A and B are shown apart, each in its own frame.
Chain A
Amino acid sequence: MPDRLKPGHDAHRGGWTRRSVLGALCATGLAGSRAIAATATTAPLRFGLTPVFLDSDTDLLAALERYLSVQLARPVVLVKRRSYQEITTLLLTGQLDAAWICGFPYVQFRSQLALVAVPVYRGQPLYQSYVIVHEGDPAAALGDLRGQVHAFSDPDSNSGFLVTRYLLATMKETPASFFRRSFFTYGHRNVVRAVASGLAQSGSVDGYVWDVMTEIEPDLVVRTRVLHRSKLLGFPPVACQAARLGTPLVRDLREALVGMPEDATGREMLRLLRLDGFAVSEPSLFDGIAAMYDHVRTQS
């Protein structure tokens, strides 16, 4: 049993109650009871989510909430908004304790945000951005997409916007000048749907999300094809306000995330997420994204 679940560990949060002891005893097997018991005494963890992963999977969200509430011995409120910007704003204004955001907002607000943990995917905390086209599209390179309709994920998404914008910038182009039309779908899965249905001829999508979707929604993904893979970039991290990095809550959250492979529910979570685990990482992991951001900014 982790230290934070021992009676002595919990004592500093406001003392023992009969309910919290009962909740602690049930923690390993009866997560629900524990969460209900904790509601009465402990402030909830407000955890922000963005479509950096398949946030449409309700089973996954329920498992995440269950896992974190048990590990942190407190209720967990998962907060979702339509855009990255809304979650980033909530995080920056202290309305969220932590959030799973994209590397691009992290780079944009690096001075105000701190890394809690970074997912490890295929052995490293890195992923790629894909430019995808419809399966029958004859395009062979990015340049062939000129004049088409393009689907972006989110204006604050690294893989779903920044990478493609950076690639166009290297060609002295902008989305407006290069594409006939472009629009945001506010979700990587939506980008795949837009391209698969023919609404857009091409799209910018998170490579990790696209890979996972090939397993769970092969019928949809098979109608798309990867045209371009970016270099490896820092995986969307779990971040918090820089000021809160040392707080017990954030420390516990980091422990819970990093310790996920050691717990049965955590392992199930990781299996659903197709991740190896979470790791503590340095801000330099996102230098590649920062460099692209700088390039785009200077271009515009």
Chain B
Amino acid sequence: MKGSLQEGALVAVVGAALAFAANALSPRGLLLSKNYFPGTSVALPSPVGMLTNTTGAASATTNSLLDLLSARLQADGLQLADSNRVVQFFHDPRREQDGVIFMDSRDEEHYRAGHIPGAYLFDRFHPENYLTNVLEACLTAQEIVFYCNGGECDDSEHAAIMLRDSIGIPKEKIFVSGGGITEWATNGLPIELGPRNSGQLTNLVPTAASGAVGQGSRLPSPGVQTQESGR
């Protein structure tokens, strides 16, 4: 047993050293000192996907969860945009001239699989790749709506905080969609595929009573639901 413990300790030390080295060498490695979750970071007491699940027991608590989310966003100086408000923003005529913009806070793979038409991509984990594209639009827009997947995903609020604090966007301009792209798709609203303004639009019809994204949906792409629990 003593030999196993010694061997285990050696494996732990060498393995940890190699693991940190591999992370440092990996182009997608994490920065150890970076705070990836700025803000109050109070987790919602909800299981995965609760906010976007409109069925059964989950729906009974959805309003209270939205209240909790709203309170958390307020603590971070952000405003919650519910489903109706998000749709209003989308139909706002100012959107044509980038007076109102949508900011997709997911990664490029999911963005290309389907996003709110005209939305900008801002993957907060790799801001250096996207900041130049969104900087001007963020500074000139009168209202900015951040969204990600829905559910427990908080990428949208962290992206909002990151942009607000780094480039000085006034907090009054910032809104965070509570239901995210999942709620958007569930409501049968238009989805744009591929890059921004690609013109490839699709509509998703909500499935009867399920509230889930219908069969044949191209959104979210395989892996979104499994790898990312998100609002």
Binding between chains A and B: no
